[in-house]
Structure 1
């Protein structure tokens, strides 16, 4: 790839690089179906990760794997549908070590996000059936963090013992084991919260 000279702008006597909106949006489009993958504990080799993906994610097309020296991988899926299918089918482990997956974003910061904001699968046991709509589930998830998805069984109401949501949560804070809910009659209720997996250093409250 040959490069061109692009004149920097001058601001208060300093050279400033001005990025091109068209170029950045074009590059963002290349990575919008990508995910950040981090393995808690020892980082696996690319070969080990390739074997894991080939056997565990065999329901999607083979992705590209990129390793970053900070100890995480960028997994470039072939479509947004593949990315969402992988996220919805978690959580995952490799060599008994938990895998943290996050959707790539243009402002991604590994230390600020992967080590602090983690997508966790949350279960809401015995959730009343009239609370299984998209709006109600979004409200429950929003009380915990940033809700991403409900799993397929929850979406299709194929299992009614608990609803299961994927929620981005700040794992540096205590994770709640119950939520306060104000029903339509003005009565304050409690909803239990359970987790498929939480980092070892997390505390429940």
Structure 2
């Protein structure tokens, strides 16, 4: 289960078949994923390897039928009820970043003003796009 993500759709229940079809198609470029219907509208997404799991996390946010998919890594002993999500990962767009803060440490420092920084999207991490940064923070 080490390469598994747990997620739920914020504000909407999406049928399993729709979730499976949509996300398998979106994530196929990183390998296969097993979509498992969980408790209380949650889903588990089991990947073949850690790289695929990390790619999905760092290339979000993801949505199906206009509903945002909140994702977090599975942890041993975690409850799969929606109520166990005491915080939610949110992607934020940071603009007008001073050049001296355009580093992993600098962007984490800025993002920490609103939450706990979790990861950056691929373009931000690689420094391929300097007009804005996208950082996922836990709020």
What range describes the TM-score normalised by the shorter chain of this pair? 0.7 to 0.9
Unaligned runs of 5+ in 1: 1-30, 170-205
Superposition RMSD on alpha carbons, in Å?
1.7
Change (3 A) 1:145 1:108: farther
**Greater helix percent: which structure?**
2
Change (3 A) 1:133 1:65: same
Structure 1 CA distance for aligned equivalents of residues 11 and 114 of structure 2: 26
Query: Rg: which structure is higher?
Result: 1
Unaligned runs of 5+ in 2: none
Corresponding position of 1:146 = 116
Change (3 A) 1:83 1:159: same
Corresponding position of 1:183 = none
Do residues 100 (structure 1) and 54 (structure 2) align?
A: no
Structure 2 CA distance for aligned equivalents of residues 120 and 144 of structure 1: 10
Do residues 129 (structure 1) and 111 (structure 2) align?
A: no
Q: How big is the shift at 1:83?
A: 0.7
Give CA deviations for 1:153-176 in whole Å, capped at 9, x if unaligned: 22222222222211111xxxxxxx
Given the two structures, how large is their TM-score scaled by the length of structure 1? 0.61
Structure 1 CA distance for aligned equivalents of residues 23 and 118 of structure 2: 22
List structure 1 segments (4+ residues) > 3 angstroms apart after TM superposition.
Answer: none
Name the SS for the 1:76 alignment partner: strand
Given the two structures, how large is their TM-score scaled by the length of structure 2? 0.87
Structure 2 CA distance for aligned equivalents of residues 46 and 75 of structure 1: 12
